[in-house]
Amino acid sequence: MTPIRPYGVAVTDAIASGKVDEMKAVAQACRDYLATYGDLPRLLSTLDAEIAKLSAHKPS
């Protein structure tokens, strides 16, 4: 997997660049990521829930 910067940063940087080719490349990278991994906010909520669950079982 090719690491990408967080969407907000990548998207705003592409927009700020004013370069249509860069904007198209970032848009495609976002689409590809979503096609592979789906709904990122939902996945993050699931991850947070697992972290909380495992953290609750760890002794302090």
pLDDT at 2: 56
State pLDDT tens for residues 4-55.
556 788 889 999 999 999 999 989 988 888 888 887 788 889 889 999 999 9
pLDDT at 37: 83
Domain ranges of the chain: 7-57
Closest CA to 15 of 29, 26, 1, 5: 26
Tell me how far apart the alpha carbons of residues 23 and 13 are, in angstroms, rounded to a whole number.
Answer: 9
